[in-house]
């Protein structure tokens, strides 16, 4: 992975992390197209997600640093438990799935079909404030997040937002709670990945690679701030339908590229 590859993938991550179109899927496909393979490339794609997630802490700093409201942190802890359990149990399965762009393309396509109908399914939200979200609701949303872990290309954002809307959260609050939940989720994934690399392949943690990771995190952070601002406004006004069509088109294009041998499956 060279510097140009790193910047391109970081931009893709920043743009797609909070949109319901799968940042993991987009990065995997981009890496396949550019030929950015190897253990460091995999580590890079995980670590820069944390860079993007830090944009949530900056944009919602009042929420994250209001230590008087302990219930907010308790909800995040409860919501992340399913992902931690299933992530540990199915890590090998997840890694194997990420090696198969064809599967990611299929999940991208099917996820797009689902998004076409989400707005019609959940038309009567009853919860518009984070304080109204119960611990039980937080846990259920966390269970939806597991789907994105088991099915790379589904989109963590899409899964948790749909989970929130199914639990009667408004579109805006469902999106924001998805952002909040991403912070501990990606922090745990980043720490685990860095620890594994340090233990098993410490040679990858050299100065050049660390510089590349920092660059990727910085680029993803800046781009993600812009993406979040766009997404909240767009979602409230237009809903999910356009994202659904986007996923379907991308999924079909990728399947054609695989079928014609332009991209290996």
Structure tokens at 2: 């060279």
Domain containing 138: what range? 3-259
Secondary structure string (H, E, C) spanning 35-86: CCCCHHHHHHHHHHHHHHHHHHHHHCHHHHCCCCCHHHHHHHHHHHHHHHHH
Per-residue pLDDT, 247: 92
Per-residue pLDDT, 95: 64
Query: Which letter, b or e, does each residue of 141-158 get, where b requires 16 or more Cβ atoms within 10 Å of its Cβ?
Result: bbbbbbbbbebbbbbbbb
Per-residue pLDDT, 167: 93
Phi, psi of 253 (to 5 degrees): -60, -45
pTM of structure: 0.84
Per-residue pLDDT, 229: 85
Secondary structure string (H, E, C) spanning the chain: CCHHHHHHHHHHHHHHCCCCCCHHHHHHHHHHHHCCCCHHHHHHHHHHHHHHHHHHHHHCHHHHCCCCCHHHHHHHHHHHHHHHHHHHHCHHHHHHHHCCHHHHHHHHHHHHHHHHHHHHHCCCCCECCHHHCCHHHHHHHHHHHHHHHHCCCCCHHHHHHHHHHHCCECHHHHHHHHHHHHHHHHHHHHHHHHHHHHHHCHHHCCHHHHHHHHHHHHHHHHHHHHHHHHHHHHHHHHCCHHHHHHHHHHHHHHHHHHHCCCCCC
Q: How far is Cα 29 from Cα 2, in angstroms, rounded to an integer? A: 17
> Is residue 25 in a domain?
yes
> Is residue 264 in a domain?
no
**In this structure, are residues 46 and 190 in contact, taking their beta carbons and an 8 Å threshold?**
yes
Number of domains the chain is built from: 1
pLDDT in tens, the chain (265 residues): 788 888 999 999 999 888 888 887 788 778 777 877 777 877 888 888 888 989 999 999 888 888 888 999 999 999 999 988 887 777 666 666 666 677 888 888 999 999 999 888 988 888 988 899 999 999 999 999 998 888 877 888 899 999 999 999 998 899 899 999 999 988 887 887 778 777 887 777 788 888 989 999 999 999 999 998 888 888 878 888 999 999 999 889 888 887 777 666 5
Cα Rg for the chain, rounded, in angstroms? 18
Per-residue pLDDT, 178: 92
Q: How far is Cα 256 from Cα 101, in angstroms, rounded to an integer? A: 12
> Is residue 70 in a domain?
yes
Q: Name which of 197, 204, 158 is nearest 178 in CA terms.
A: 158
> Is residue 179 in a domain?
yes
Q: Cα dist. 12→15, 166, 197 in Å?
A: 5, 28, 24
> Is residue 265 in a domain?
no
> Is residue 240 in a domain?
yes
The residue with tokens 């050299």 is 206
């Amino acid at each position: 992975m060279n510097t140009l590859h790193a910047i391109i993938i970081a931009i893709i991550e920043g743009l797609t992390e909070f949109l319901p179109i799968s940042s993991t899927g987009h990065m995997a496909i981009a890496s396949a197209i550019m030929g950015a393979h190897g253990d460091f490339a995999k580590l890079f794609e995980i670590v820069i997600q944390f860079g993007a997630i830090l944009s949530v802490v900056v944009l919602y700093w009042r929420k994250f640093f209001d230590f008087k409201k302990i219930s907010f942190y308790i909800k995040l802890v409860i919501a992340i438990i399913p992902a931690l359990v299933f992530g540990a149990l199915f890590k090998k399965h997840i890694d194997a799935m990420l090696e198969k762009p064809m599967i990611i393309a299929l999940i991208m396509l099917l996820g797009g079909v689902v998004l076409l109908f989400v707005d019609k399914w959940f038309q009567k939200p009853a919860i518009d404030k984070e304080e109204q979200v119960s611990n039980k609701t937080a846990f259920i949303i966390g269970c939806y997040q597991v789907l994105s872990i088991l099915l790379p290309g589904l989109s963590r954002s899409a899964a948790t937002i749909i989970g929130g809307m199914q639990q009667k959260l408004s579109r805006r609050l469902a999106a924001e709670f998805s952002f909040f939940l991403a912070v501990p989720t990606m922090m745990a994934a980043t720490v685990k990945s860095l620890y594994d690399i340090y233990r098993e392949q410490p040679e990858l943690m050299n100065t050049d690679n660390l510089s590349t990771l920092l660059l990727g995190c910085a680029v993803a952070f800046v781009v993600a701030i812009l993406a979040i601002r766009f997404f909240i406004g767009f979602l409230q006004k237009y809903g999910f339908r356009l994202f659904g069509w986007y996923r379907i088109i991308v999924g079909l294009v990728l399947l054609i590229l695989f079928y014609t041998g332009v991209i290996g499956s």
